[in-house]
A and B are shown apart, each in its own frame.
Chain A
Amino acid sequence: MKTVRTILAILILMMVPFAISAGGQTDSAGGDTPITFWTFNELHQQFYEMAAEEWNKDNPTRKIELQAETFPYNDMHNKLLVALQSGVGAPAIVDIEISKFPNFLKGQIQLEPMNEYVNPVVDQLVKSRLDIYAKDGNYYGLPFHVGAAVMYYNVEIMDAAGVNIDDIKTWDDYVQAGLKVKAATGKMMTSIETTDQWTFWPMISQRDSDFFNPDGSVALDNKANIATLEFLHNMIYKQKIAATTPGGNHHSEEYYGAMNAGDFASVLMPMWYMGRFTDYMSDLKGKIAIRPLPSWTVGGKRSAGMGGTGTVVTKQAEYPEIAKEFLAYAKLSEKGNIQLWSFLGFDPPRWSVWDDPALKATNKFTEYFVNDDIFGLLLEVKDEINPVTITEQIPQASELVKGDIMFQALGDQSKTPAQALKDAADKLRK
């Protein structure tokens, strides 16, 4: 009898934690709705945290609690892929980068369509930016930006070399300016990525080329692309006005340090790179001017729409309705789009806000960069941006550009530009 009582007592004691946690659950259901969020970029996390604060101010009865986490780029996408494949562990809202996005549109799509929020405002959005995250008429990802590629010049170095950056109209002018900079200061005109695609892709897009043709066939080794890669090769090894990027790409600590120290006179990156300057290269404050890209021909295209991240709601979201509504609030609303600009420096995809006075107001970017009217520059080039062709093979193509082509042609020079492009293109055609 005594043993029975002891066992009962133990069993009751074991129940206590469950009872307590059950009580806790009812409490939290009455409070803020928890929404988990993953990203691979610290600045994106800050943006969503700010948006959640705004949401809570606007919706005091339906507050959310954003549980945001930033992971390294590859880790996050791999974790997400496994979580979606296995059916457990994915967050409610997550950022998926453009070159990984097609991986998530395979099979039964594990993402929530956002059509109910996109359709009412679809005619006010840059359509090509929505289409890259859509399949079979369903919009899954909401874009951050147009991604206009621009040139960032270090005016201190340019002035020392006696170069007026407004005189640089074409890529030939750019090379000439580079020779002057090299002769006068001994510094490199620019750095070229060997483990990423942000130097090469915008430059081919400018001359109406791409990794794939609009019909989805492989265009990687076409004439324009070979000529572009040879042009980059010449800048490094013939004119000797460019160097391969320290650390391989413009997102490495090594590069931030070198650029911040004034080792390079300019860099080609999209508009969304502004935040990296303000946050990681603070010594260059007041020294960087943004200009459109040099064009290949006089009057040619002066920008390209590059990169992108589609934020999605997954099918595993515990509260999908409020997650979708919050995401639309953060990224589709006019308020959200204005904040994309003033907080992140991203050129917002909803063009109905483009003439809003808020976009001309001073913010941390207008304070950092030499330009008075950064947004005016975007309006100037907005019609000179080609769409990029996104196919199911983009993840492989992007991997080949990042992993093989750029390094083989420009890094260890184990292949000529033409050969590197051809070998990679053949792999995609297999």
Chain B
Amino acid sequence: MKIHSKTKRHLVPYMFVAPFLISLIFFYLYPLISTVIMSFQHIVPGEVEFIGFENYAKLNDEHFFIAIKNSFVYTTLTIAVLIPIPVIFAATLNGKKFIGSTIFRSVFFIPSLVSVVVAGTIVRLIFASPDGALINSLISYFNITPQKWLMAGKFHAMFLLVILATWRWTGINIIYFLSGLQTIPDELYEAASIDGANTVQKFLVITLPLLKPIVIFVTTISILGGFSMFEESYILWQGTSPSNIGLTMVGYVYRKGFQSGDLGMGSAVGLVLLVIILVLSIIQLLFWGFFKRSES
């Protein structure tokens, strides 16, 4: 009887983690293993054959490199925009003297509730090419010639993608940073004030260093989000962007796997993407000293 209850007690933790483990096995581990296998196969309905590294050899393709470059530039730009701006906004919203901070918090947060399809369609229409479209008619007040935004080339394309990302994600990042700011004890600021520090000094010397864990977290999810971006560009150009100006890594997976019906090739690209994200995340964490043992 005693043994029985002991085994029971041993089983309990496993039962608690079981739902997670089961979903991990079925929704992550199984697809991952099957992707690895498929990346060495040529797959058409009813016929599957192993072809070794042929899919990987086919990656030596101009479009693949364009996709990597686009994803890389997009990720870099979104990180460059989506960390400083939300930090400043969050610090402002956190200020005691700021009136209406609750209203502004919700205003900034609302865009992230909008579906990317809706947001993308709206951006596509306000940046449409006719002179009468919203943005074109606005800039013509300032004597800037109307642009064919979506069809103008890679700089315009990247600009639109970053604008869309900024609009959607600023709110979420503000929430992350706000929660970080609220853990910073007021005493530190009080002490700094007594020492005669001004607002800017306090921000640079107290706020920023103490926000570091949040910055690391946001950078990590931004790398993941940036490299896995797909829907935004898919909606803006309805599938194929001219001259691949909006082609991303996931877009390339989609093109090879689904549009051309080559699931083996799609799996190979997907795995390369996985490796790239993994390496970049590790480099980033090393840079922040995340793996060092804390000195205390």
Residues of A within 8 Å of B44, CB to CB, are 85, 106-108
Q: Is the CB of A399 within 8 A of B259?
A: yes
Query: Among A176-184, A225-233, A357-365, A406-414, which stretch is in contact with chain B?
Result: A406-414
CA distance A396 to B265 in the complex (A): 14
Q: Does B240 contact A (CB under 8 A)?
A: yes
Q: Is the CB of B238 within 8 A of A72?
A: yes
Query: Among B103-111, B174-182, B213-221, B241-249, which stretch is in contact with chain A?
Result: B241-249
Report the minimum CB–CB distance from B51 to chain A (whole Å). 14
Q: Does B47 contact A (CB under 8 A)?
A: yes
Residues of A within 8 Å of B244, CB to CB, are 403-404
Q: Does A53 contact B (CB under 8 A)?
A: no
Proximity string of chain B (229-259) to chain A, C-beta cutoff 8 Å, 1 when within and 0 when not: 0000000011111111000000000110011
CA distance A78 to B152 in the complex (A): 28
Query: Among A22-30, A122-130, A244-252, A292-300, which stretch is in contact with chain B?
Result: A244-252
CA distance A408 to B254 in the complex (A): 23
Residue of A246, A395, A411 near B242 (CB, 8 A) is A411
Most buried by B among A82, A85, A257, A414: A85
Q: Does A8 contact B (CB under 8 A)?
A: no
Residues of B within 8 Å of A82, CB to CB, are 258
Q: Is the CB of B240 within 8 A of A403?
A: yes
Q: Is the CB of B151 within 8 A of A248?
A: yes
Residue of A107, A246, A407 near B129 (CB, 8 A) is A246
Residues of A within 8 Å of B258, CB to CB, are 78, 81-82
Q: Is the CB of B129 within 8 A of A254?
A: yes
Q: Does B285 contact A (CB under 8 A)?
A: no
Q: Which residue of B lies closest to A406 (CB)?
A: B242
Proximity string of chain A (375-414) to chain B, C-beta cutoff 8 Å, 1 when within and 0 when not: 0000000000000000000011001001110111001101
Q: Does A427 contact B (CB under 8 A)?
A: yes
Which of under 10, 10 to 19, 20 to 34, or 35 or more describes the interface residues of B? 20 to 34
Which of B110-153 touch A at CB < 8 Å?
128-130, 148, 150-153
Q: Is the CB of B259 within 8 A of A107?
A: no
Q: Is the CB of A85 within 8 A of B43?
A: yes
Proximity string of chain A (97-127) to chain B, C-beta cutoff 8 Å, 1 when within and 0 when not: 0000001001111100000000000000000
Residue of B43, B130, B151 near A244 (CB, 8 A) is B151
Q: Is the CB of A110 within 8 A of B242?
A: no
Q: Is the CB of B45 within 8 A of A85?
A: yes
Task: Work out how many contacts link A and B, with CB atoms closer than 8 A.
Answer: 90
User: Given A194-B151, A412-B153, A412-B243, are A78 and B259 also a contact pair (CB < 8 Å)?
Assistant: yes
Residues of B within 8 Å of A411, CB to CB, are 151, 153, 242-243
CA distance A68 to B258 in the complex (A): 23
Residues of B within 8 Å of A85, CB to CB, are 43-45, 261, 263
Report the minimum CB–CB distance from B135 to chain A (whole Å). 14
Which of under 10, 10 to 19, 20 to 34, or 35 or more describes the interface residues of A? 35 or more
Q: Is the CB of B62 within 8 A of A427?
A: yes
Residue of A107, A246, A396 near B46 (CB, 8 A) is A107
User: Given A108-B45, A246-B129, A257-B130, are A194 and B242 also a contact pair (CB < 8 Å)?
Assistant: yes
Q: Which residue of B lies closest to A263 (CB)?
A: B130
Report the minimum CB–CB distance from B237 to chain A (whole Å). 8
Q: Is the CB of A412 within 8 A of B152?
A: yes
Residues of A within 8 Å of B237, CB to CB, are 195
Q: Is the CB of B242 within 8 A of A74?
A: no
Q: Is the CB of A106 within 8 A of B261?
A: yes
Q: Does B294 contact A (CB under 8 A)?
A: no
Residues of B within 8 Å of A160, CB to CB, are none
Q: Is the CB of B243 within 8 A of A407?
A: yes
Q: Is the CB of A254 within 8 A of B240?
A: no
Which of B40-74 touch A at CB < 8 Å?
43-47, 61-62
Report the minimum CB–CB distance from A136 to chain B (whole Å). 15
Residue of A257, A395, A403, A408 near B241 (CB, 8 A) is A403
Q: Which residue of B lies closest to A420 (CB)?
A: B243
Q: Does B260 contact A (CB under 8 A)?
A: yes
CA distance A85 to B244 in the complex (A): 27
Report the minimum CB–CB distance from A32 to chain B (whole Å). 30
CA distance A24 to B132 in the complex (A): 55
CA distance A395 to B244 in the complex (A): 16
CA distance A108 to B44 in the complex (A): 8
Q: Which residue of B lies closest to A396 (CB)?
A: B260
Q: Is the CB of B243 within 8 A of A254?
A: no
Q: Is the CB of B47 within 8 A of A107?
A: yes
Residues of B within 8 Å of A109, CB to CB, are 45
Q: Which 4 A-B pairs have the closest CB atoms?
A: A107-B44, A108-B46, A407-B242, A74-B239
Query: What is B's interface to A at a CB cutoff of 8 Å?
Result: 43-47, 61-62, 128-130, 148, 150-153, 237-244, 254-255, 258-261, 263
Query: What is A's interface to B at a CB cutoff of 8 Å?
Result: 72-74, 77-78, 81-82, 84-85, 103, 106-110, 194-195, 244, 246-248, 254, 257-258, 395-396, 399, 402-404, 406-408, 411-412, 414, 427
A-B contact pairs, 10 of them (CB 8 A): A82-B258, A85-B44, A85-B263, A106-B261, A195-B151, A247-B128, A247-B129, A248-B242, A402-B240, A411-B243
